[in-house]
Chain A
Amino acid sequence: MPPDSTGPLLHVHNVSKSFGVVAAVRDVSIPVYAGEAHALVGENGAGKSTIVKMLAGVHRPDTGSIDLAGRPLDLRSPADARAAGIAVIYQEPTLFPDLSVAENIAMTRPPRGRFGMIDRHRAARTAADLFARLGVEIDPARPARGLSIADQQIVEIAKALSMDTRVLVMDEPTAALTSVEVERLFAVARSLLEQGTAIVFISHRFEEITALCARVTVMRDGQHVSTDLMADLDVDEIVRRMVGRDLSALHPQRTAAPGEVMLQVEGLGRDGVFEDVSFTVRSGEIVALAGLVGSGRSEVVQAVFGVDRRDRGTVRVGGQRLRPNSPRAAMSAGLALVPEDRRLQGLVMDASIQRNVTLPRAGSLARVGLLLGGAERRSAEEWATRLQTKYHRLSDAVSTLSGGNQQKVVLAKWLATMPRVLIIDEPTRGIDVGTKAEVHRLISGLATDGVAVVVVSSELPEVLSLADRVLVMREGRLVRELDRDEATEESVMFAAVGQGPQPAATAESASTATSEPAPELEVSR
């Protein structure tokens, strides 16, 4: 790229990146222009995060280059990226809670006074100047603890500005924000754009993308699909490109004929974590537990299964009351939990595929107390094959498998216990799209076979396409129950963030496509 004034300020140029056998990003190019916000969209696992990490200097591209103002960058560390003028803001701000706002901003490059001591006054003045420039009022002297997430992000932006940032990368900054806070953040972003900063913006909310961004790049399965001016595309078209198929395909029509109540949870509570959670799941039904990260979904299902404590409430499986705090009692009642953290909770990573698949059933596979004669091997082989797991030998450590195949081992492990109620926490986190579709088909198939299924998921498309009913949690409570017809990205998200559905944003259709951008997001300040 020859350097010229009309060329892109930041040019991600044919980059590829593989992790072991998994190609996370293949031959992706993204031109980002000065003074312009560029949206990067794609499903989870499309490769957005890998691009962000390359811009942040965490990963280095295998091939291709990242050019800034026409010059190729060699980002070997986050410090390199900062020095080059690229700042990244993540969904979870990374401030030091016990330091003041000004100290946080000065963290990477503290102003030195006499004897090399940090000049606090200068740091405070710098922070105040930056906030004035951004048009926000935050007291530089207050500690970062207690700031709202939105304000913490604004502090992060101020921190980025203090380092002469030319490119600001925002990785799902709005995921945990209310719409008022989003407005505030966007006002700051717009003032940055006016000052010539380039922004790379990642979000799952289309109304935000259309409100802020001038250009959009769609990624799918680690590949570049398209880059267009926002004005040339409508939301439906973007979603079609993201998923690579028509929206109707997102909803596999399953004729749900729910049977009797299999799982009954009543008044479940745990001090300080969740309170008064009651729901039922029928045989043949898929119920999704949705909500923001940290809303208590995983904690609830872990308490139901008995790996976590519960202080109040009852759990019944098939009418039978379950002893609390005993995964073993839950298992023998026909409950199975595929946990959230595959590497820590789902698998013994250093142990073999065979040992992992048969671990919950070591007791029942034994004959007169002995595990001899290959009973484990036969069972592991049967279930691994049933789930079409790709492996070399059953004796290989599961850590040698890809994420998708690891997930299949976890599923095999629990399906082999023949559960009546299957709880799956984040069924497709971090696995490739092909396997994802297989897992979704598997879950639907299980429900058709009469298993009562509970799916916990942070991916709205997954929730909406799988679930017969959606239960939404917020701050440790069940706040909404939505039938398949009522559940849309908006209705679920509004319940999750605790906003009443706002008139313009209420969508009547059951499609995942969002309605027109909500007008109140058009920020003017």
Chain B
Amino acid sequence: MSADVSVDVSVDVSADASAPGRPGAPERAVRAGGPVRPVTAVLARLAGWDVAVIALAALVIVLASVFVDNFGSSRNFTFLVLDLLPIVLIALPMTFVIATGEIDLSVASVLGLSSAVMGYLWNQGMTIETIIPLCVLLGAALGAVNGLFVTALGLPSLAVTIGTLALYRGLAFVVLGDTAVADFPSSYTSWVTGTIGGTSIPNVAIIIVALAVVFGVLLHATPIGRWTFAAGAGEQAARFAGVRIPMLKFWLYVATGAVAGLTGVLWTLRYSSARADNGSGLELAVVAAVLLGGVSIFGGRGTLPGVLGGVVLLASLQNALRLSDVSNEALNIVVGALLVASVLLPNVTQAVRAGTDRFRRRHSHPTGSPPLTAAPR
């Protein structure tokens, strides 16, 4: 007698009507809750990760508003949004890339090269209106190079983008050297740092909201989103279902590059300074935010609201700590710890669940056989 077969969750499907009247296999058709429920519980728990992160972000904001001086000020709010701008923008396409099981570590270098080229072209006397689209295109082209290496040559994205991380940053220094270009027109720089009307909401929030909506819809309500998750969760099955995985991944890298290029422009305008080292190390904050938001590093799982929650959690925590005079080194420790925790926690949760499950089974089964999820051949 198996103690597992206690809950019968049979559905109103009249399937047994077709089963031949053979005396052999009656119970086999019964769907039992026992071995099924823990698995779905774990999945439900993981699906709830994004909700948890959003709640945690809200909690940090509330606590910081109460306990940290100036955190709740409208001026700080503006700065907070401006600070998270580069992270949130790049995190949007990065969510897709990571959901397919790949990664792009070159984004901060693309940002830097875009900034350097922007300064160079401005020095050459080009207009800002020409430079901005050129920088976005440059980002797209740099992303396409990553994409070609990963898809056409089949190289591991981790290795490729570590390589282009160094390569693109090096090119940025070739373009601009150690100098900075600072004399950008104030009509542009003040728009980026300015706020909407009399509110404390920065103008760039419009860009954030617009892109977040576009990428959110793309991920959760279009075929591209379905293919993205399928490619990450079961590459072969996706291929057998007609998903053109190389093409999908290629365009995701292009999109990531384009957004990083645009972010380079915004970064330059915000600080009125085009420098080759702009955005150094930003890729880690972006990846941390995406993973913190519940996107699986192995691909196949995640939500965009969760990623937005991850970005806000990370940014508000950093902001609050900085206001509390915590050093930059300590801030890095916090980011690193959050990154490790976000990768570790889902696995720990799963392991604990599996452990207690096995324990429970051992004590309900006389023979104490371990749970086997795979059906026998």
A residues touching B (Cβ–Cβ < 8 Å)? 18-24, 45, 49-50, 53, 59-63, 220-223, 244, 305, 307, 327-328, 330-331, 337, 339, 341, 344-351, 355-356, 358-360, 362-363, 366, 369-372, 385, 388-392, 396-397, 399-400, 402-403, 413, 429-430, 432-434, 437-438, 441
Contact = CB atoms under 8 A, between A and B. Distances in A.
Contacts of B221: 370-372
- The 3 tightest CB contacts between A and B, nearest first, are A348-B234, A388-B15, A221-B24
A348 B230 contact: yes
B11 interface: yes
Given A346-B237, A346-B240, A62 B222 contact: no
A337 B227 CA distance: 18
Contacts of B186: none
14 contacts: A20-B35, A21-B34, A22-B375, A62-B369, A341-B236, A344-B237, A355-B229, A362-B223, A388-B15, A396-B36, A430-B377, A432-B28, A433-B22, A437-B20
A371 B138 CA distance: 32
B356 interface: no
A370 B29 CA distance: 37
A392 B241 contact: no
Contacts of A22: 28, 375-376
Contacts of A327: 239-242
Nearest to B27: A23
A307 B376 contact: no
B238 A49 contact: no
Contacts of B27: 23
A28 to B, nearest CB: 13
B18 A347 contact: no
A318 B11 CA distance: 40
Contacts of A305: 240
Interface stretch (B2-10, B75-83, B120-128, B335-343): B2-10
A400 B227 CA distance: 22
Could you tell me the dominant secondary structure of chain A's interface residues? mixed
Interface in B333-376: 365-367, 369, 371-376
Contact of A344 (B22, B230, B236): B236
Given A220-B24, A388-B18, A391-B11, A62 B240 contact: no
Contacts of B365: 62
Contacts of B229: 348, 351, 355
Contacts of B22: 221, 244, 433-434
Contacts of B19: 434, 438
A347 B235 CA distance: 10
A24 B376 contact: yes
Given A339-B240, A359-B241, A351 B234 contact: yes
Nearest to A327: B242
Could you tell me the dominant secondary structure of chain B's interface residues? loop
B169 to A, nearest CB: 36
B243 to A, nearest CB: 7
A390 B15 contact: yes
Contacts of A59: 369
Q: Count chain A CB atoms within 10 A of each CB in B32, B301, B377 and give the residue with the most.
A: B377
Given A341-B236, A402-B375, 18 more contacts: A20-B372, A20-B375, A21-B5, A23-B28, A62-B369, A331-B242, A345-B236, A348-B234, A351-B230, A371-B221, A371-B223, A388-B15, A397-B43, A402-B28, A430-B375, A434-B19, A434-B20, A438-B19
Contacts of A328: 242, 244
A433 B21 CA distance: 12
B30 to A, nearest CB: 7
Contacts of A355: 226, 229-230
Contacts of A413: 241
B4 to A, nearest CB: 8
B159 interface: no
B40 interface: yes
A400 B230 contact: no
A298 B30 CA distance: 33
Contacts of B330: none
B25 A390 contact: no
Contacts of B236: 341, 344-345
Contacts of A21: 4-5, 28, 30-32, 34-36
B62 interface: no
A20 B373 contact: yes
